Amino acid sequence: MKEIAALISGLIFSLGLILSGMTNPENVIGFLNITGNWNPALAFVLMAAVVITGLGYRLAWKRSKPLFEASFSVPTSQIIDKRLIMGSAIFGIGWGLVGLCPGPALASVFTSNGVKVLVFIVAVAGGILLQRLLTLLLERKAAATV
């Protein structure tokens, strides 16, 4: 059941991205292009998504636990640190370069421009692994200097 729920959730997410035009990097860049021909679509997508999610989360959290798991896995940290800011800054640069991020990319693999999208996705995986490797190396260095 867990996997079916996840599959359906992913599918609805994908359909939402496609319907709203967010799988087209042109629309994303258009929104980020605030000094040029501005395309506000992304703002509407985000607004609707945040409102629905906000209301739905509140309802979901009235339960003591999720339907198919023992507990909710929601992050609790409230710390604003360098990692958060630097990471977000770097993510934003990458996002602004092509107008792609993980969700829309995965949702557009099976379209006519799938090859370019796939290259992006593999690079994302590379970036994730690179960040993990860097963290590991820094941790080892810190431990060694103790």
Partner 1 sequence: MNTESIINALLGGSLIGVSAVLLMLTLGRISGINGITSGLLSLNLNRNDLWRVAFLAGLLIGPMVYMAVGGTMPEVVIEKGYSYLIAAGVLVGFGATLGSGCTSGHGVCGLARLSRRSLIATTVFLTTAMITVFLNQ
Strands (DSSP E) found in the chain: none
**Residue 91 CB neighbour total at 10 angstroms:** 13
**141 scored as a contact of partner 1 (CB under 8 A):** no
Kindly state whether residue 9 participates in binding partner 1, applying the rule CB under 8 A.
Answer: yes
Is the alpha carbon torsion for 9, 10, 11, 16 positive or negative? Answer: positive
Nearer to partner 1, 3 or 146 (CB): 3
Residue whose token pair is 């959730």: 9
142 is a contact residue toward partner 1 (CB under 8 A): no
Window 72 to 91, contacts with partner 1 (CB under 8 A): 72-75, 77-80, 83-91
Shortest gap between Cβ of 36 and partner 1 (angstroms)?
Answer: 7
